[in-house]
Amino acid sequence: MADETEEGVGGGDGGDGGDGGDGGSVLKKYGPLAAIVLLAQVVLAWVVISVVFKDNVPEEEQEDLIPDQSVELLSGSGEEQTKTRLPYYYQSKEMGSITANPAGTNAERFVVVSVQLGLEAYNRDEDPPDDDITEGLAENAEILDKIKLYDQRIISVIGKTIRLKTIDELDGAFIHEIEDEIRKRLNNEIFSRLFAVTEEQKTEVIVSEVDISQIIMQ
């Protein structure tokens, strides 16, 4: 009897141990799968929340996040489109052959340039675009005669600018920069004073471009 009792007790212990082993094997078998499912649910929940909140953002707020550049682009393109005419090109006989010694040549070399000025004229008594009177410059003897009186001063400014440049600068890709420098100097030193807008003087003439059409180097 004692032996049977001991065997029964031992069998019971073995049964408990068997249940514990089965539980561990189940966790070991299905644990990784449960973790993957949980991770998938978290990702899915995040995607759903992102979509819901994105769709609920008011359209006005979304538009505010985008910089408004359309006005600047339109105004810039509009300004370019308004100038459909060319400037009036002015060149006296003397401006067709201006001689100067370039920098760094010790007066041993000289250049001869032909220059014409692109002029624009405005009547400041009128509002744009009616103030643009450039197309009438060819027949405006009063303005042209006034400019002609300062031909020597214009030639002097051009010559001084040329003398500050080297042969390489005059013969290379810098010619457009030189033209722009001459334009600025002519406006600042001559035309802004000659055609200053006052109560009596409403016509303004500016140099909009300088064209060095020919360069001869000796």
175-186 vs 151-163: helix axis angle to the nearest 10? Answer: 140
The two tokens of residue 40 are 């998938």
Mean pLDDT of 22-47: 69
3-state SS, residue 85: coil
Cα 54 to Cα 58: distance, rounded to the nearest angstrom = 9
pLDDT in tens, 144-155: 999 999 999 999
pLDDT band at 129 (very low <50, low <70, confident <90, very high): confident
Q: Return left, alpha or beta for 67; rule: phi > 0 is left, psi -120 to 50 is alpha, else beta.
A: beta
Q: What is the mean pLDDT of the segment spanning 32-49?
A: 73
* CA pair distance 201, 149, nearest whole angstrom: 18
**pLDDT category of residue 108 using cuts at 50, 70 and 90:** confident
Under CATH, which number does the domain 86-217 receive? 3.30.479.30
Taking 60 as the threshold, does the pLDDT of residue 127 lie above it?
A: yes
Strands 203-217 and 111-123, bridge-based pairing = antiparallel
Give residue 7's pLDDT band: very low, low, confident or very high (50, 70, 90): very low
Distance CA 131, CA 124 (A): 6
Q: Which residue has the tokens 């408990």?
A: 16
On whether the CB atoms of residues 171 and 215 are closer than 8 A, the answer is yes
Domains of the chain: which residue ranges?
2-64, 86-217
pLDDT tens-digit readout, 72-105: 333 333 344 456 889 999 999 999 999 999 998 8
Section 92-120 average pLDDT: 93
